[in-house]
């Protein structure tokens, strides 16, 4: 039921600047900055051979990561995203096991155009967990 | 120069308990608990199709993660580990780009029996970075 690690998201004040150290120091391939106003973030991806790092930067006053970046001035690891084959089945099983889904529990379309849900970090060892329909 | 994402490490008070939610709720494959006294941690791995999650629990009074777990009672994402083909070349390039290596900069043998180095989170968007010779 648990698929690939889709991405690790790191929230920062400046996503392009953050990604550039991966390009410069590691020679990694990085994407351009993509504003996603409906998600309140700007994203820049770092491509690794087996997964990706996603830098996210607050966009707009209602950005869901604004407070996190305020509290973590240097940036910080914000969440881990796992692929699941069936997001409804995964949601129901996680809830049955005691994990708390964030929001109303109805999957919404995430930054990659696929249905996503988030689960409470207290139920996953302090790590905010996103699941995405693969 | 930047290889696979080797693992994401999550530091917790009880690594087996933390991994069990992945086994129970996600049906993921988890390893047994392995004490590594020379590293001051107990590890439990969660196997994903493309990488792994490594739960680490403090072991002994001088554990390098004791303070982190004290500060983060629920646990928290502790570091990200990347494979590199040549750890000395990677270290020198990262230092040249302005990243600060932790300790004396001499690779030591990590939890997987391979040379590793850590770099300062302030130079990587608040994320503690480990590099491991692939």
pLDDT digits (tens, 9 = 90+) for A63-120: 999 999 999 999 999 999 999 999 999 999 999 999 999 999 999 998 889 999 999 9
Contact B131, B80 (CB under 8 A): no
Determine the distance in angstroms separating the CA of A3 from the nearest CA of chain B, rounded to an integer. 6
Instruction: Give the separation between CA B57 and CA B68, rounded to whole angstroms.
Output: 10
Q: In this predicted model, what pLDDT tens digit does every residue of B114-128 receive, in sequence order? A: 999 999 999 999 999
Q: Tokens representing A74? A: 């240097």
- On the 0-12 / 13-18 / 19+ scale of CB atoms within 10 A, A50 is middle
**Are B26 and A94 inside 8 Å of each other by CB?**
yes
* Domain total in chain A: 1
**Are A48 and B22 inside 8 Å of each other by CB?**
no
Average pLDDT over residues A47-74: 95
**Are A75 and B10 inside 8 Å of each other by CB?**
no
Please tell me the total number of residues recorded for chain A in this structure: 134
Q: In this predicted model, what pLDDT tens digit does every residue of A23-42 receive, in sequence order? A: 988 889 999 999 999 999 99
Sign of the CA dihedral running B2, B4, B7, B8: positive
Q: How many CB atoms lie within 10 A of CB A78?
A: 25
Which residue shows structure tokens 């207290």?
A: A122
Q: Is the ipTM of this complex over 0.85?
A: yes
Average pLDDT over residues A33-58: 96
Q: Tokens representing A126? A: 């302090």
Average pLDDT over residues B1-23: 94
Choose the closest CB to A75 out of B21, B84, B126: B126
Give A-chain residues touching B130 at CB under 8 angstroms: none
Identify the closest residue of chain A to B51 by CA–CA distance.
A5
Give B-chain residues touching A3 at CB under 8 angstroms: 48-49
Determine the distance in angstroms separating the CA of A12 from the nearest CA of chain B, rounded to an integer. 6
Best of A125, A128, A130, A134 to substitute, by most chain B Cβ atoms within 10 angstroms, is: A125
Domain extent, residue B79, equals 5-133
The region that residue A75 occupies, defined by phi over 0 for left and psi between -120 and 50 for alpha, beta otherwise, is left
Choose the closest CB to A51 out of B1, B50, B90: B50
Instruction: Give the separation between CA B6 and CA A23, rounded to whole angstroms.
Output: 18
Verdict on whether the full-model pTM lies above 0.90? yes
Q: What 3-state DSSP class applies to B115?
A: strand
CATH of the domain at B9: 3.10.180.10
- Cα R_g (chain B), whole angstroms: 15
């Amino acid at each position: 039921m648990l698929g690939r690690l889709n991405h690790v998201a790191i929230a920062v004040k400046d996503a392009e600047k953050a990604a550039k150290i991966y390009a410069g120091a590691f020679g990694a391939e990085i994407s351009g900055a993509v504003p996603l106003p409906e998600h309140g973030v700007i994203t820049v991806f770092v491509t690794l051979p087996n997964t990706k790092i996603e830098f996210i930067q607050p966009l707009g006053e209602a950005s869901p990561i604004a407070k996190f970046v305020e509290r973590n001035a240097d940036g910080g690891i914000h969440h881990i995203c796992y692929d699941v084959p069936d997001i409804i089945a995964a949601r129901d099983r996680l809830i049955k096991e005691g994990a708390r889904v964030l929001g109303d529990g109805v999957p919404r379309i995430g930054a990659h155009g696929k249905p996503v849900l988030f689960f409470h970090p207290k139920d996953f060892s302090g790590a905010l967990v996103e699941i995405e329909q693969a």
